[in-house]
Amino acid sequence: MINRLTLILFTGALLSFQCTAQSKPNGSAIQIAYEQQNKAVTETIDECKRLLAKDKLTFSDSVKLESRISLFGLLRAEQATSLLVQNVTRRTVGLMLEARAFADFPSVDALIQIGNPSVHEILRRMKPQISTATEYPERDLHLFAYVIRQVDGDEVGLFRLELEAKRATGTHKLNLLNLIDIYKLNETEAQIRVALTAEEK
Amino acid sequence: MNLFKNPLTHVFAAIIMAGSTGFALPLGGVITNMPSANETTVRTEAERQMKDKDTRFKSVKVENDVFDGYFIPASASTRLAVVSDDGVTITIDGAATNVTNFGAGQSDKNIDQVFKVVSTPTFVVGRAYRIKVDYSNTIHTDDNDFDGMTLFAFNGGGRTQEVNMIISRGQDGYAVPDDEEETIGAFTVANRNNTDNDGTPDNSDNNVPGEKDLMKLEISRPAGPATDKASVKVTSGSARFWESSTKVNPVPLVNGAAEFTLSNLPKTIYVETTATSPSLRSISIELDYKGSKDTVKATGVWVQFSGAAHDTKDAASLFADPVWSDTTAQPRDWIDGRGGTGLRPINTTNGVVNAILIKFTLLPSGVAGSQNVSFDITRQAEGRMWTQVEGGTPTLIPEATRTFPNSNEQPNDAIHNDDESVSPSAQGNIYSIDIPGLQNPQVPDGVDILTFRANFKEYVRVTFNGIRPLGNSVIGSRCSDKYLWHVAHKLEFDAGAFTGNFRRTTGDTTETPDNSIGDDHIVIGGPN
């Protein structure tokens, strides 16, 4: 299990490595830091899976889940993108000390912080043989479109989607075309919330 | 400014020396037949540059350039002459000379073959005369155009004097280029922060471990006897000199100036800006060696807290107020999105939030447009949250607990930059917002009452390398005082609304100790 102390220790290890590296190159220090991060991320993924497996989260669990997910963003944890994409619409309490978009959909911010690997994972998930869903639910697509736009910007994001759609066939292509339609709406956070609420009903 | 860093100055220096062998020219005359040795020297230089296709000298484009140096005549009868292309002006000790408008942007592989004697004062042997050559009116026509000029001395000649300092930006920043040391200058923080967390502002403190806001000043050694002295002085602005970057020992002053024997030069000292600069480049530092001088300029940056909007008010009224009308698009969009400040109505869009808008003003005026000076509004936070079922014992939510960092300069609530101005308003203001609370207004199972109290310290940090600070590490330097504010929520299940949402225990219209956002800190205390 990772907690903030672990993160601080990990960050400390990285800083320590940087200091060491300036005076004396040390390949093993990189390896140790890398392994520590991998271990921390893997443990946090497991903890998130346990929380997500619960039918109903307590308030405390919900705050815990979003704090763990935010760590993936801080650590740019590429390994977590699959979990985050699959749970992009999982809603938590959205505790805010600092204002941020979609605070109650913590996977969104983590995917944006992770960046390009998130877009790869979203595109991969559009393939029906990868995803459990044959046609991806629109709720998810609104949030995917938002993530891609934040990572890639308007034009590059659209270009990537269109290029992917050009190569795809069948349900895969259909998912991508649906995503492109939503992407072109250029929705704000408020508009997406309205869309999500409408689809809930 | 150092005369000898401009490529052209090599020509200048060379020709002054060549000229010092002496040849006769009528004062004020235009010469077309120079002694062959000197004529060859000048023209060969120009032609060689073109012929060799040296990238540096392929064409000499000197638009918007100035050079600045000293000449020490060897004889009272020494005269200066110039050969030039178009549009240079020369001043000697600030007085204009007769040299103006040589040609008008001709594309010419050879310098115009016109040598003109420069009007000079009656030279005093051994005295340093400051010579400024201004190319700002030259017209560069194409790659065959040579916009250079060559100035040389004759009738006894003289020598040039190099007197130079290099100033670097604070935070171990880059050395200011010679041609920018008076026009842009160095930047650092007015040293009012408290790097070592000892409760004493750094500008009133000696020996500050970790101090990084002093500017490095490298003083070169002028040519002269080892026992001669050069002096360095703050001629305007609030600054003082230190032997080390962490303020261990001040540089001793004699009549307000630091004096160095030439045998102790070159030397590096550090400049502290002790107060906010009233204007850009208000700090001026002068190196003087026997009348030969070099000047560098600097600005001490600080940011002033200018107010906070936290009373319950709708966005339209707020932004109609001239105090808030220049709020930048980001973070204004957050306030528009929540409909205003203060206690916001609880719904799916707003969540359960109390909103605040905070304003800072950059000082001195104009610093906003300065090169590579980047500001970031950041925050320290402490807070606690408790949940409770009706009639039960309150439970602390550990994941929601924050404590202020031990370091005075380290944020712990600054992972994102979406909640603040990307760049300053035209009036030089920057803004941040916060909306502490819950984005999801729905009451989870097992919660009837939720209590949340937090305190914040809002401040600004700055960097001088063009990279805007982000995140919870100590990055850059704090450049403002801290604005203290707080938030309090006491929420309960809204059984009558059938929405499943929270409601405030004391309503949405009036702030109470249980539900508020505003100035100063509150006691976080326990759940009740």
**Cα gap A22→A71, rounded to integer Å:** 27
pLDDT (mean) for B372-380: 95
As separate numbers, helices (DSSP H) first and strands (DSSP E) second, chain A gives: 10, 1
Which residues, numbered 346 to 365 in chain B, qualify as contacts with chain A under a Cβ-Cβ cut-off of 8 Å? 348-349, 351, 353
Q: How many CB pairs under 8 A join A and B?
A: 89
Which residues, numbered 432 to 491 in chain B, qualify as contacts with chain A under a Cβ-Cβ cut-off of 8 Å? 433-440, 444-447, 450, 454, 456
% chain B with pLDDT above 90: 55
Which pLDDT does position A17 carry in this prediction? Answer: 37
pLDDT digits (tens, 9 = 90+) for B512-524: 999 999 999 999 9
pLDDT (mean) for B1-17: 34
Contact B397 A59 (CB under 8 A): yes
B337, B379, B436: residue with CB nearest A96: B436
Do B356 and B501 belong together in one domain? yes
Does A185 contact B at CB distance below 8 Å?
Answer: no
A59, A97, A99: residue with CB nearest B444: A59
DSSP state for residue B258 in the 8-state scheme: E
Do B117 and B225 belong together in one domain? no
Does A169 contact B at CB distance below 8 Å?
Answer: no
Residues counted in chain B: 528
pLDDT (mean) for B415-426: 91
- Using CA coordinates, name the residue in chain A closest to B453: A97
pLDDT at B27 over 50: no
B166 φ/ψ angles, rounded to the nearest 5 degrees: -125, 125
pLDDT digits (tens, 9 = 90+) for A9-19: 334 444 343 43
pLDDT digits (tens, 9 = 90+) for B153-164: 777 777 766 688
* Residue B374: alpha-carbon gap to chain centroid: 8
* Residue A194: alpha-carbon gap to chain centroid: 21
E strand or H helix that includes residue B261: strand B257-261
B35 φ/ψ angles, rounded to the nearest 5 degrees: -55, 140
DSSP state for residue A84 in the 8-state scheme: H
Does B393 contact A at CB distance below 8 Å?
Answer: no
Do B125 and B61 belong together in one domain? yes
How is chain A split into domains, by residue range?
115-201
Do B193 and B115 belong together in one domain? no
Do B403 and B318 belong together in one domain? yes
Using CA atoms, how far residue B7 sits from B34, B56, B61, B107, B205, in Å, is: 24, 8, 11, 20, 44
Which pLDDT does position B87 carry in this prediction? Answer: 62
- Grouping H, G, I as helix, E, B as strand and the rest as coil, residue B515 is coil
Distance from CA of B316 to the nearest CA of A (A): 18
Do B13 and B92 belong together in one domain? yes
Q: Are B479 and B462 in contact (CB under 8 A)?
A: yes
B524 found inside a domain = no
Q: How confident is the model at residue B107 (pLDDT cuts 50, 70, 90)?
A: very low
pLDDT (mean) for B119-142: 74
Query: Which chain B positions have a beta carbon within 8 Å of A94's beta carbon?
Result: 351, 438-440
Contact B419 A98 (CB under 8 A): yes
pLDDT at B306 over 90: yes
Do B146 and B286 belong together in one domain? no
**Cα gap B80→B289, rounded to integer Å:** 23
* Residue where a domain stops, chosen among B262, B281, B301: B301
A94, A99, A190: residue with CB nearest B438: A94
Do B355 and B242 belong together in one domain? no
Do B8 and B103 belong together in one domain? yes
Q: Are B16 and B152 in contact (CB under 8 A)?
A: yes
Split into its structural domains, chain B has a count of 3
**Cα gap B146→B43, rounded to integer Å:** 12
Here the ipTM equals 0.81
- Report the residue of B438, B458, B491, B493 to disrupt the A interface, i.e. the one with the largest count of A CBs within 10 Å: B438
Do B141 and B261 belong together in one domain? no
**Cα gap B67→B7, rounded to integer Å:** 11
DSSP assignments along A146-194, one per residue: HHHHHHH-HHHHHHHHHHHHHH--HHHHHHHHHHHHHHTT---HHHHHH
* Residue where a domain stops, chosen among B138, B161, B184: B161
Q: Are B239 and B283 in contact (CB under 8 A)?
A: yes
pLDDT (mean) for B117-136: 78
Find the radius of gyration of the CA atoms of chain A: 18
Please tell me the least confidently modeled range out of A67-71, B27-31, B442-446.
Answer: B27-31
pLDDT (mean) for B115-129: 78
Do B100 and B228 belong together in one domain? no
B21 found inside a domain = yes
Contact A94 B414 (CB under 8 A): no
Does A174 contact B at CB distance below 8 Å?
Answer: no
pLDDT at B62 over 80: no
Which pLDDT does position B20 carry in this prediction? Answer: 30
Do B218 and B295 belong together in one domain? yes
Q: How confident is the model at residue B300 (pLDDT cuts 50, 70, 90)?
A: very high
Is B245 or B104 the better-scoring residue by pLDDT? B245
Which pLDDT does position A109 carry in this prediction? Answer: 95
Q: Are B135 and B79 in contact (CB under 8 A)?
A: no
Contact A74 B415 (CB under 8 A): yes
pLDDT (mean) for B65-85: 71
Instruction: For residue A160, count other CB atoms closer than 10 A to its CB.
Output: 19
Distant-in-sequence, close-in-space partners of B71: CB < 8 Å, separation ≥ 6: B16, B80, B128, B129, B131, B153, B158, B159, B160, B161
Contact B439 A63 (CB under 8 A): no
B528 found inside a domain = no
| B3, amino acid identity | L
Q: How confident is the model at residue B149 (pLDDT cuts 50, 70, 90)?
A: low
Using CA atoms, how far residue B198 sits from B143, B240, B472, B479, in Å, is: 60, 21, 21, 17
Taking 50 as the pLDDT cut, the residues of chain A under it are 1-25
Which pLDDT does position B137 carry in this prediction? Answer: 62
Instruction: For residue B383, count other CB atoms closer than 10 A to its CB.
Output: 22
Helix B36-52 and helix B7-19, axial crossing angle in degrees, nearest 10: 160
- Grouping H, G, I as helix, E, B as strand and the rest as coil, residue A95 is strand
* Residue where a domain stops, chosen among B127, B145, B161: B161
Burial B218-235 (b: 16+ CB within 10 A, else e): ebbbbebeeebbbbbbbe
Instruction: For residue B4, count other CB atoms closer than 10 A to its CB.
Output: 16
- Burial class of residue B269 in the structure, from the number of CB atoms within 10 Å of its CB (0-12 exposed, 13-18 middle, 19+ buried): buried
Q: How confident is the model at residue B299 (pLDDT cuts 50, 70, 90)?
A: very high
pLDDT digits (tens, 9 = 90+) for B496-510: 777 889 999 999 999
Is B379 or B106 the better-scoring residue by pLDDT? B379
Using CA atoms, how far residue B432 sits from A105, B189, B227, in Å, is: 23, 21, 57
Which pair of tokens denotes residue B310?
């936290």
B525 found inside a domain = no
* Residue B234: alpha-carbon gap to chain centroid: 18
- Using CA coordinates, name the residue in chain A closest to B395: A60
Q: Provide the CATH number for the domain around residue B287.
A: 2.60.40
Domain housing B123: 3-161
B128 found inside a domain = yes
B129 φ/ψ angles, rounded to the nearest 5 degrees: -110, 130
pLDDT digits (tens, 9 = 90+) for B175-230: 998 778 999 999 999 999 999 989 899 999 999 999 999 999 999 888 778 899 99
